[in-house]
Amino acid sequence: MCRGQSKVIKELNKPHTLKQHWEALSHTARIAIIACSIGGLILLITCLTYYCITQGIKGRKEKALADAEYEKEQQEFNFYRMQMMKGGFSKSSQPV
């Protein structure tokens, strides 16, 4: 008989579940995995916050442009309406 363990016994004694794999890691490896996971989460949150802030800034600029266009159209419409009320259907004060 041979002394030692066979390959089958070694395979049976290996960790098979996630908990067993986790417990088989050294304390330093566990700390490194946890720290990297927390770092990745912080990076993800930071990138998401940056994206939301930049989109908000772009949205405010776009809204300001749309509001300015709307005001311009309202002024033109009011001018046109006042002309129509005065009976100036075919007149225009602005050169074409």
Side chain identity, residue 74: Q
Of residues 41 and 21, the one with the higher pLDDT is: 41
pTM across the whole model: 0.57
Domain ranges within the chain, ordered by starting residue: 7-85
**Residue 37 φ then ψ, to 5°:** -65, -45
Residues 47-75 pLDDT 10s: 999 999 999 999 999 999 999 999 999 99
Task: Say if CB 22 and CB 30 are below 8 A apart.
Answer: yes
The pLDDT of residue 94 is 63
Task: Give the mean model confidence (pLDDT) for residues 7-27.
Answer: 82
The pLDDT of residue 67 is 96
The total number of residues written for the chain in this structure:
96
Task: Give the mean model confidence (pLDDT) for residues 6-23.
Answer: 80
